Structure 1
């Protein structure tokens, strides 16, 4: 219970700041100079935070669908030969920085949300893909044999046995991908995507440390709180399907 209080306090402070940022102006005022505003006022911080989370949710959902599907494919006999190629493809997202992906995507799809979604999607594939493979490969052979002996088809074994047992590792990959995306999405503002990167970039361009700090704090708190929320959701889902929650 005591461990819950810091999270509740962080959530309350974040909500208070996003709903009434000007109330926190005295806190950030010492970080300004020459009469610069202490709170970013070119757009609603709440709207920017929601837009930021929307980008992350869309990109992570797309990454999860593709990565889990690919992970299932390469762990089947029919797709095992594609394992090296699949690993090479998903590793591209970690090999090339998101800025490089943006540089390639902008000439193809233009400015705005699209190139940012592409960068986050590519960057989020690897954790989910590798965790899916790991979870599926660790399914005990005895369990598979028992399911086969019970007359389950390969598809039934996948949906009713393998994926549920691999769920904890898959969810771990999704959480990691989500947290990475929350931090990485800040670069989307360099290509005109709405998000909290707009606050940080404005602070850097105007030499206003208050903007940089408040943008970074909001992104950091959101990453921690979203990770905790996903962990709680995972534990509830695992209990629902009858698996022990970690």
Structure 2
């Protein structure tokens, strides 16, 4: 079964690369969805360039979310930071309390149109799952393990870097995976504020009533989500096996 899954993912990756690189080869599949001699393939820009721009925004936003959420998660699990846990949880929840569209509306007057407001929306939206999984991963480290590390002469910083974070890593990676998948879909709204991405294809289809464009944008995003989800899940399993721990389960709601 695992070999079949690998083959299916490889086939999906080849299909995705072929489509974004040479979309005209697939025109025959989308022609039945067009009307009035409309173009069957999105022709207002390069699908490859839009896909790369989409991934770039998601990657940068997830990287920024990961750095802040993990740092904050570590801080509030230390004795000197525990009193800030309720406040920190409330702050990271704000990102998912406000709809991304509302964040864009607030951000555009401050930073202008383009990638920046989209980055801000994705950054805020991605904090919660990474923060919560960081808390869960650190809380799951057994006290006996920490006592053994302490008995070996490790100070608090060494225990954090050499013991706690490595053991919590599978669960933290699960939170990052969830954040990436959320951002991949949410990033499509960035095109409403002139950010380059696959949302541009979908919006063009809506404006021209061209179902083929809408389907193309949606399919590329869906394939990216499936492939990235599978890839990150494989990384989690590999890390968990190396540590002798179960793979982390993503947590999206505060405990």
Q: Name the structure 2 match of 1:189.
A: 191
Paired with 2:69 and 2:207, the residues of 1 have a C-alpha distance of 37
Structure 1: runs of 5+ lacking an equivalent: none
1:46 is aligned to 2:48: yes
Deviations 1:163-201 (A, max 9, x none): 011111100000000000000000000000000000000
Paired with 1:200 and 1:157, the residues of 2 have a C-alpha distance of 49
Question: How many positions carry a matched residue from both structures?
Answer: 245
2:74–2:134 contact (8 Å) kept in structure 1: yes
Q: Name the structure 2 match of 1:77.
A: 79
Paired with 1:120 and 1:102, the residues of 2 have a C-alpha distance of 10
Deviation at 1:5, TM superposition (A): 1.8
Instruction: State the Cα RMSD in Å.
Output: 1.2
Deviation at 1:230, TM superposition (A): 1.6
Paired with 2:223 and 2:106, the residues of 1 have a C-alpha distance of 30
Greater Cα offset, 157-166 or 1-10: 1-10
Q: Name the structure 2 match of 1:208.
A: 210
Deviation at 1:235, TM superposition (A): 3.6
Deviation at 1:236, TM superposition (A): 3.9
SS of residue matched to 2:189: helix
Q: 1:138 aligns with which of 128, 133, 140?
A: 140
Paired with 1:245 and 1:141, the residues of 2 have a C-alpha distance of 18
Deviation at 1:40, TM superposition (A): 0.3
SS of residue matched to 1:40: coil
SS of residue matched to 1:18: helix
Deviation at 1:56, TM superposition (A): 0.4
1:13 is aligned to 2:15: yes
Deviations 1:73-117 (A, max 9, x none): 000000000000000000011111100100110010000000000
Structure 2: runs of 5+ lacking an equivalent: 248-255
Paired with 1:7 and 1:204, the residues of 2 have a C-alpha distance of 30
Q: Name the structure 2 match of 1:55.
A: 57
TM-score by length of 1: 0.97
Paired with 2:162 and 2:223, the residues of 1 have a C-alpha distance of 36
SS of residue matched to 2:67: helix
Q: Name the structure 2 match of 1:90.
A: 92
